[in-house]
Amino acid sequence: MTSTPTMRPAPTGATRLAAVIGDPVRHSLSPAIHNAAFAVLGLDWVYVALTVAAGRGGDAVAAMRVLGIEGLSVTMPHKAAVAAAVDRRTAVAERLGVVNCVFTDGDELVGDSTDGDGFVRSLAHDNGLSLAGARVMILGTGGAAKAIIEAVGRARPAELVVVSRDLARAVDVAATLAPGTGRAGAAAEAGAMDVVINATPVGMAGGPDAEGLPLPAEFLTSTHHVIDIVYNPRVTPLLAAAERAGATTVGGVGMLIHQAALAFEHWTGQAAPVDAMAAAAFAYHREPSRLSNHGE
Amino acid sequence: MTSTPTMRPAPTGATRLAAVIGDPVRHSLSPAIHNAAFAVLGLDWVYVALTVAAGRGGDAVAAMRVLGIEGLSVTMPHKAAVAAAVDRRTAVAERLGVVNCVFTDGDELVGDSTDGDGFVRSLAHDNGLSLAGARVMILGTGGAAKAIIEAVGRARPAELVVVSRDLARAVDVAATLAPGTGRAGAAAEAGAMDVVINATPVGMAGGPDAEGLPLPAEFLTSTHHVIDIVYNPRVTPLLAAAERAGATTVGGVGMLIHQAALAFEHWTGQAAPVDAMAAAAFAYHREPSRLSNHGE
């Protein structure tokens, strides 16, 4: 229970089911977010978290089909296995090779990856920030970073610089996912950027480098938009350093909300009530026992 | 939505999932009954109905395992397929060859058939009626009838007479499921009985013989307890005739509640709040659009 639970009529036989699969998944914010959205629109759906063991992602897609589950969110460690198991992938999911949500289209199960578009949409919706013409640095080349690189690459930035400790990987990811726009670069180039995005786990509570910064603080300036996809803590070491530098800062919950909103729209065909979804995420997130950046 | 929905906190990531599988299943009373029970005990579970096509019952058991669904109710047409697919069956389920609920025991999925024990328990709990020493006639040899015959046979009746249009089948069912106690007989023997149980679909709204009686009205007397497992309508043609004869009458919702209560106890390890479950069933049942004896 959260401190401000959404109250809903209990499900009946007519209620439709959606779920997030992952492991770990019990601390996911997704049930709070989606159930709040169903409530505000009066949709007779319910959303739960289901622990699915590593290696069983493809079986979970089969299970979705057998049981008539009408929407699936997919988190670690199943994003690639589910991409391989669905009937069809969207162009973005095809390019990334991963799926974070599954929806039905007639008899087909379709996989999409909404993380990147959710990220770009959250900046526009929540922060009035368009990336068109912007000089953008993205730190990281993991799964979340790749989704963001791919989507930012389509957002017509003036520059898209991918920074990784593994330069060869940065070169490859930039060329593959943002061809013609992305290139590998170094954190020291930050001074020439408008937007700096941390898409690494550095700064995540409970993570391997919870107190760390993904780039040196002295590279941050007051002209930067600094965005951290880590949402726990709400103010990460990076965001704190960016604030001290006078930069504009953006936390990671917006991406979480908007990737969920895009999935919600696939499932229900209705515009997602993103403000209600955000309120639910923030209410839930305030619960100390729930603090986790995992499970999404 | 029912006219008196149970209000619950929306599920979070911690919420456990139980479900009924069947086809048709959308009009099942089970979600209303079980969600009311979870609510009254403050258990963080949610129960939904999942349409599973004929021939996919075994796959649904596999799906339950993959997704970590913690309780399953099973209705038509899956009771035999699920019995074949679980890791282990209770003695009753083994004897009947069907399963109406699945629960976890460590790593194993165990199938039970609670219809018969639910029937006997409902008579004791709701009606103060013990079958020990009673002369009992059971009309029907279908799935529900077999479960009742098996359970009544264990309840030490003085007599157990099975009546069917198919005499050979009545002989076989009585000998197999109530050895030493049960025998085939004729409806005309009703005068010598204490308890007459209709376990056929005769009298069920929307069924093949909705206006019919499973035995001639003139066989009913004021000393009878007449029990109809058909619960829609609440007063079946049989129960109306029994009332006119001055008999004590018992409708079919009690069996529905108590078979669910036994499943609930398997899943949660807690005593089922049968009064709250019955109230939910009756509230739901009053909705004209929900009237159905199917889906259980």
Question: Is the same domain home to B32 and B92?
Answer: yes
Within chain B, where are the H helices?
A: 30-41, 57-67, 79-85, 91-96, 115-127, 143-154, 167-177, 237-244, 253-268, 274-285
Q: Is residue B173 part of a domain?
A: yes
* Contact check, Cβ <8 Å, B29/A13: yes
Q: In the predicted model, what is the mean pLDDT of residues A10-39?
A: 95
Residue of B67, B76, B102 for testing the chain A interface, max A β-carbons within 10 Å: B67
Identify the closest residue of chain B to A47 by CA–CA distance.
B11
Minimum distance, in Å, between the CA of residue A159 and any CA atom of chain B: 39
A2 in contact with B, Cβ within 8 Å:
yes
Placement of tokens 């929307």 in the chain = B206
Integer Cα distance of A138 and B76 in angstroms: 54
Minimum distance, in Å, between the CA of residue A261 and any CA atom of chain B: 17
**Predicted pLDDT of residue A291:** 42
Single-letter amino acid, residue B28: S
* Contact check, Cβ <8 Å, B13/A25: yes
- Give per-residue pLDDT as tens, A194-204: 999 999 999 99
Average pLDDT, chain B: 94
A29 in contact with B, Cβ within 8 Å:
yes
Question: Is the same domain home to A127 and A94?
Answer: no
Question: Is the same domain home to A230 and A186?
Answer: yes
Structure tokens, A249 = 């800062």
Question: Is the same domain home to A259 and A247?
Answer: no
Q: Is B73 left (phi over 0), alpha (psi -120 to 50) or beta?
A: beta
Using CB atoms, pick whichever of A6, A13, A28 lies closest to residue B31: A13
Stretch (H or E) spanning A279: helix A274-285
* Contact check, Cβ <8 Å, A7/B12: no
* Contact check, Cβ <8 Å, B10/A39: yes
In eight-state DSSP terms, residue B168 is: H
Which percentage of chain B shows pLDDT scores above 90? 90
Q: Are B67 and A19 in contact (CB under 8 A)?
A: yes
* Contact check, Cβ <8 Å, A50/B69: yes
Integer Cα distance of A283 and A4 in angstroms: 6
Chain B residues with beta carbon closer than 8 angstroms to that of A13: 20, 25-32, 49, 295
**Predicted pLDDT of residue A286:** 59
Question: Is the same domain home to A245 and A127?
Answer: yes
Question: Is the same domain home to B174 and B107?
Answer: no
Chain B residues with beta carbon closer than 8 angstroms to that of A28: 13
**Predicted pLDDT of residue B8:** 82
Rounded-to-10 torsion of CA A229, A77, B109, B274: 10
Q: Is residue A81 part of a domain?
A: yes
Q: Is residue A4 part of a domain?
A: no
The pTM of this model reads 0.89
Q: What is the CA radius of gyration of chain A?
A: 19
Chain A residues with beta carbon closer than 8 angstroms to that of B11: 31, 35, 46-49
Minimum distance, in Å, between the CA of residue A289 and any CA atom of chain B: 12
The catalytically annotated residue of A46, A47, A49, A79 is A79
Q: Are A225 and A239 in contact (CB under 8 A)?
A: no
Q: Are B38 and B270 in contact (CB under 8 A)?
A: no
C-alpha B114, offset from chain centre: 7
Q: What is the CA radius of gyration of chain B?
A: 19
Minimum distance, in Å, between the CA of residue B87 and any CA atom of chain A: 18
Task: Tell me how many domains chain B contains.
Answer: 2
Integer Cα distance of A107 and B238 in angstroms: 44
Question: Is the same domain home to B127 and B242?
Answer: yes
Question: Is the same domain home to B216 and B150?
Answer: yes
Classify B12 as helix, strand or coil: coil
CATH number at residue A191: 3.40.50.720
Q: Is residue A296 part of a domain?
A: no
In eight-state DSSP terms, residue A130 is: -
Question: Is the same domain home to B89 and B108?
Answer: yes
**Predicted pLDDT of residue B285:** 59
Using CB atoms, pick whichever of A9, A56, A64 lies closest to residue B7: A9
Q: Is residue A176 part of a domain?
A: yes
Q: Are B54 and A87 in contact (CB under 8 A)?
A: no
Identify the closest residue of chain B to A15 by CA–CA distance.
B48
A43 in contact with B, Cβ within 8 Å:
no
**Predicted pLDDT of residue A283:** 83
**Could you report how far apart the first and last alpha carbons of chain B are, in Å?**
19
Structure tokens, A149 = 């690189």
Residue B214 backbone phi and psi in degrees, to 5: -80, -10
In eight-state DSSP terms, residue B10 is: P
Q: Are B12 and A289 in contact (CB under 8 A)?
A: no
* Contact check, Cβ <8 Å, A66/B60: yes
Integer Cα distance of B62 and B56 in angstroms: 10
Give CA separation, A94 vs A99, A255, B74, B265, in Å: 9, 21, 38, 46
Q: Are B26 and B278 in contact (CB under 8 A)?
A: no
ipTM of the complex as predicted: 0.87
Which of B109, B11, B15, B114 has the alpha carbon at shortest distance from B64?
B109
A268 in contact with B, Cβ within 8 Å:
no
Question: Is the same domain home to B226 and B280?
Answer: no
- Give per-residue pLDDT as tens, A156-178: 999 999 999 999 999 999 999 99
The catalytically annotated residue of B34, B78, B79, B266 is B79
* Contact check, Cβ <8 Å, B50/A63: no
- Give per-residue pLDDT as tens, A222-256: 999 999 999 999 999 999 999 999 999 999 999 99
Which residues 6+ apart lie within 8 Å of B205 measured at CB? B232, B233, B291, B292, B293
Number of inter-chain CB pairs under 8 A, A vs B: 148
Q: Is the pLDDT of residue A269 over 80?
A: yes
B62 in contact with A, Cβ within 8 Å:
yes
Using CB atoms, pick whichever of A12, A48, A56 lies closest to residue B11: A48
- B146: annotated active-site residue: no
Q: In the predicted model, what is the mean pLDDT of residues A251-273?
A: 97
Q: Is residue A237 part of a domain?
A: yes
Which of A85, A84, A93 has the alpha carbon at shortest distance from A66?
A85
In eight-state DSSP terms, residue A189 is: G
* Contact check, Cβ <8 Å, B12/A32: yes
- Give per-residue pLDDT as tens, B133-159: 999 999 999 999 999 999 999 999 999
Identify the closest residue of chain A to B20 by CA–CA distance.
A13
Which of residues B236, B251, B266 is at a domain's end? B251
Integer Cα distance of A46 and A31 in angstroms: 8
Minimum distance, in Å, between the CA of residue B9 and any CA atom of chain A: 4
- Give per-residue pLDDT as tens, A94-145: 999 999 999 999 999 999 999 999 999 999 999 999 999 999 999 999 999 9
Q: Is residue A175 part of a domain?
A: yes
Domain interval for residue B83: 16-113+255-290
Which percentage of chain A shows pLDDT scores above 70? 94
Minimum distance, in Å, between the CA of residue B4 and any CA atom of chain A: 9
Using CB atoms, pick whichever of A39, A48, A66 lies closest to residue B59: A66
Single-letter amino acid, residue B291: L
Integer Cα distance of A204 and A142 in angstroms: 15
Q: Is residue A5 part of a domain?
A: no
Question: Is the same domain home to B132 and B246?
Answer: yes
CATH number at residue A264: 3.40.50.10860
Integer Cα distance of B163 and B24 in angstroms: 28
Res. B9 pLDDT band, cuts 50 70 90: confident
Question: Is the same domain home to A89 and A205?
Answer: no
